[in-house]
Structure 1
């Protein structure tokens, strides 16, 4: 055995230890290993950095932009609220309502940004239904992983394997190639997941922001219109009793004040609901369909463009001409070009409509105004302080529908092989930027550059596994399984090696490292490479037993209040069952 073999083997062991112990960031670890392989001349300069121009890696980056536009426009929020709804059914049924839509969406939207977008939607749903978030977020992560195995673009791992096939002079995977195994696997996996989660996951509540004496509360009054879906229901039934960072303290009906608002009080058209809460929760609340702040605003308060219209907090100064005037008479919108959303008054809970509030020095106004407001009024004596408030992404309803249409167009162009995925996704991203569904600044923030660096480095390391002879040796060992167990034994060996490795290191790195072994094994057996490539892609994604096995697991770890053992309890049996089913399906379909 050569120096290249021993050096690369030692380096891979060292890399695995670093990744398992998490002593360095994943992307830094892989980049250092890549440089060491290059310095030792195991790989050439071109081989080391070919991953940075790989079609699979670039496709992932473009899909992040499309997912970012969907998040900005609120398309998935609307879809999530429609699919999840309000239900008092069993835990198992609630999980089915969550997992199947999440898996379906994940088949067409990369699951990492999808989970990032879904967490606030699920958290909001859990709050309104007084349901423990810990029962929902692990199933959300696992469902999107299973859904990601249903199409080529479902997860970055599929695209990494697709890119490796192209690199080896093959045509790559068709859009629905992985679906033959992925769809039945996802259906069975989700059913098992819902059973295990309903029985074994804990009932832990996420720590909530409590309103109290030390909290800077704003007050907002919203009128109920005929578009509000919960007209005629009690406050409790409408889900307005236990809102995170919000409290409904008063109702005004035909000039009569109902205070304090009780859980069994009903909500009727033309009621004014008085909420106190935090700036961000108030900004989200006023976008609720059927709850109206003001009708004749110069811009649409529910579907404003957050690139043009910003949120600000302004403190009224002692010399301000606004002092002593109520909001309606002050002509505030005409003078300042801004709409007052809510008002904070230290030590006092305002119980009047915004228009009737008499302004005082020190009042803090939560405003919606154009992006020039800060420059124009920052130095004005009318205000003590003008600062940007919490950012709540918002776009017009038309842009929301348009973003969904662009995603559909990308899928159609790819499925019918009109354009390669990278070209279709590229056109989609450009169109969304030009139509201002997402800005260039937001593009930079939406793309997970860490993931792209990990994927790019993994390609060079994968080449080193082949060049050093490691792939040949391991392939020969796996081939011995064929003597005893036939082709199904070889498939099982490839699958479970990948599956075990991805529990401890990045799924993309695991796929890139095992792919050369799978490729060489298929060549030595003189069989099609595709079933082995599909095995690697699915095995690298289906890492359920540890939180570090997949990015989405880490994303739900904190918000769900989970412990390491929660992932083991649900994930280990799920991972074993899914693995056995995957191997059986691969053998049945391809051999």
Structure 2
């Protein structure tokens, strides 16, 4: 009875993850807590999962990435990468992002190139952004530290008593698979749509500007008293006064003669302004000034805004900025902007106040696409020392001179002592959600084992492939993981598929390594749907893509990737 209860709970978890009803962290933690209450895991085992050595290594790596992404290297490369013909520029971008993603967080690599690619006009950004995202995945899956998924799989292997995975163990299959997939991706990139970046005139179409005439009855009264805060479909964003912008506009702001009021929202609701006497619509003076404080950003996967509306989070107070427009993929959203739930990957066009950059939550919530803002960078000396320190840690781990966790911990201490990172920044950017998901997933895997559910699933796999041998079961584990990573997140896919793969290997009496690798490579095989991988969501709106663009490009890449993985893995890691 308990076995079937656990299987039903896993099915319920999948439904919640696919539907997006709850955030993954809440779903995983709740299920792990349920297993604790049912006695499937005890308190000591549960707490032990949250301190798993591979998980701790992953968290250290992500925190150190905060320093690595502030070195001038990524920005320097982003300014020089899109040169030559389109095919040459695409190949150079793919190769560079893949090599960097093998050692750096691929989200940071894509974020660094995203703004430069979106701003340049040499090659249509829509021809480059999907290749950038796919190449970062292909590069990331070639090393232990290239993607969080590989470290997640390593944490499961260690927790199950399996072998410790080496730094370049993934490269033996990963590098040839990546090279084959690159050829197909370069071919498909030529068939992506050509969407040129929006120019400033297009962005200003979000606005309605109205001049306040000297004799208007609105003059001398506050915004609140003039009822300008409760307009149907429109929102007072800024006031242009004597060559300067007042942004954001508070309810107590007193209107003065010759003010230009800038509204945003549903431009079709312009009639809402016609009842105000002395308000002259379609003033043109504000256009040039508006162009100086527009910033375009993408909602990041770390953002606390996901799933919430602008009104719920009080966006204006949080960031001293107003949202002029929201774009999701190739669609510009309309209606009451304040009541639209935001998603990861949404493009927001912001009119920002003077201290926007000083808000400490900017980097956590947004990836910068355009505007006059720049990311804070390390000095040349600190940058050189940080990169040298990281390269040394990776090199010593690869040569087995120093465990990766030890090296990263020493490097973290050096970054704190050198004030490259601060405790406040680490608190602000700590990946709590990822930590909770993986720690809880390890506990859930333990519950699957203890309840017999994992063994039952393995028996099902064995009976399903009994006439076809262990290779067919290996293929089945890979396809299961691949299906999960397209429908839920890559880390969740690895967490759910690993216990099945491990138990299947035991049921067949096989070496577990090919099955472990099937889960690792399968969890990175997200090429069809943009919602399964965070870098896809990052490029979805800036590239103004349709979902069909990912499918048309990703299907041949996915087929090539899968055939290569299934052919090469058993040769390198025999059963």
**Structure 2 stretches of 5 or more lacking a match?**
210-237, 245-288, 296-352, 360-371
Deviations 1:148-171 (A, max 9, x none): 111111111111111111112233
Q: Residue 571 of structure 1 corresponds to which residue in structure 2?
A: 554
Superposed, which structure 2 residues align to 1:270-309 within 5 Å? 278=292
Q: Residue 146 of structure 2 corresponds to which residue in structure 1?
A: 154
Contact 1:149 1:158 in 2 (8 A): yes
Pick the aligned partner of 2:182 from 190, 208, 233. Answer: 190
Superposed, which structure 2 residues align to 1:357-372 within 5 Å? none
Pick the aligned partner of 1:476 from 451, 459, 466. Answer: 459
Q: Residue 494 of structure 1 corresponds to which residue in structure 2?
A: 477
Q: Residue 318 of structure 1 corresponds to which residue in structure 2?
A: none
CA gap of 1:530–1:208, structure 2 versus 1, over 3 A, is farther
CA positional deviation for 1:481: 5.8
Distance 1:491 1:429 in 2: 39
CA positional deviation for 1:563: 2.3
Q: Residue 205 of structure 1 corresponds to which residue in structure 2?
A: 196
CA gap of 1:457–1:192, structure 2 versus 1, over 3 A, is same
Q: Residue 568 of structure 2 corresponds to which residue in structure 1?
A: 585
TM-score (norm 1): 0.67
Superposed, which structure 2 residues align to 1:56-75 within 5 Å? 56-75=54-73
Distance 1:42 1:55 in 2: 22
Distance 2:45 2:194 in 1: 49
The SS at the match of 1:72 is coil
Deviations 1:223-243 (A, max 9, x none): xxxxxxxxxxxxxxxxxxxxx
Pick the aligned partner of 2:97 from 102, 107, 130. Answer: 102
Superposed, which structure 2 residues align to 1:270-349 within 5 Å? 278=292
Q: Residue 114 of structure 1 corresponds to which residue in structure 2?
A: 109
CA positional deviation for 1:33: 1.6
Deviations 1:288-338 (A, max 9, x none): xxxxxxxxxxxxxxxxxxxxxxxxxxxxxxxxxxxxxxxxxxxxxxxxxxx
Superposed, which structure 2 residues align to 1:522-537 within 5 Å? 522-537=505-520
Superposed, which structure 2 residues align to 1:255-270 within 5 Å? none
CA gap of 1:572–1:401, structure 2 versus 1, over 3 A, is same
Q: Residue 75 of structure 2 corresponds to which residue in structure 1?
A: 77
Q: Residue 332 of structure 2 corresponds to which residue in structure 1?
A: none
CA gap of 1:508–1:415, structure 2 versus 1, over 3 A, is same
Q: Residue 131 of structure 1 corresponds to which residue in structure 2?
A: 123
The SS at the match of 2:143 is coil
Distance 1:155 1:544 in 2: 15
Segment of structure 1 superposing worse, 470-479 or 504-513: 470-479
The SS at the match of 1:502 is helix
Superposed, which structure 2 residues align to 1:416-427 within 5 Å? 416-427=399-410
Which entry has the higher C-alpha Rg, 1 or 2? 1
Deviations 1:452-471 (A, max 9, x none): 22222211122222222222
CA positional deviation for 1:208: 5.0
Contact 1:75 1:404 in 2 (8 A): no
Q: Residue 385 of structure 2 corresponds to which residue in structure 1?
A: 402
CA positional deviation for 1:399: 1.7
CA gap of 1:557–1:474, structure 2 versus 1, over 3 A, is same
Distance 1:184 1:455 in 2: 29
Distance 1:53 1:555 in 2: 30
CA gap of 1:579–1:28, structure 2 versus 1, over 3 A, is same
Contact 2:82 2:93 in 1 (8 A): no
Are residue 393 (structure 1) and residue 376 (structure 2) matched? yes
Q: Residue 506 of structure 1 corresponds to which residue in structure 2?
A: 489
The SS at the match of 2:16 is helix
Are residue 5 (structure 1) and residue 3 (structure 2) matched? yes
Are residue 40 (structure 1) and residue 38 (structure 2) matched? yes
Deviations 1:532-553 (A, max 9, x none): 1111111011111111222222
CA gap of 1:85–1:130, structure 2 versus 1, over 3 A, is closer
**Structure 1 stretches of 5 or more lacking a match?**
219-274, 282-364, 372-388
Q: Residue 355 of structure 1 corresponds to which residue in structure 2?
A: none
Contact 1:498 1:511 in 2 (8 A): yes
User: Aligned-residue CA RMSD in angstroms?
Assistant: 3.3
Q: Residue 291 of structure 1 corresponds to which residue in structure 2?
A: none
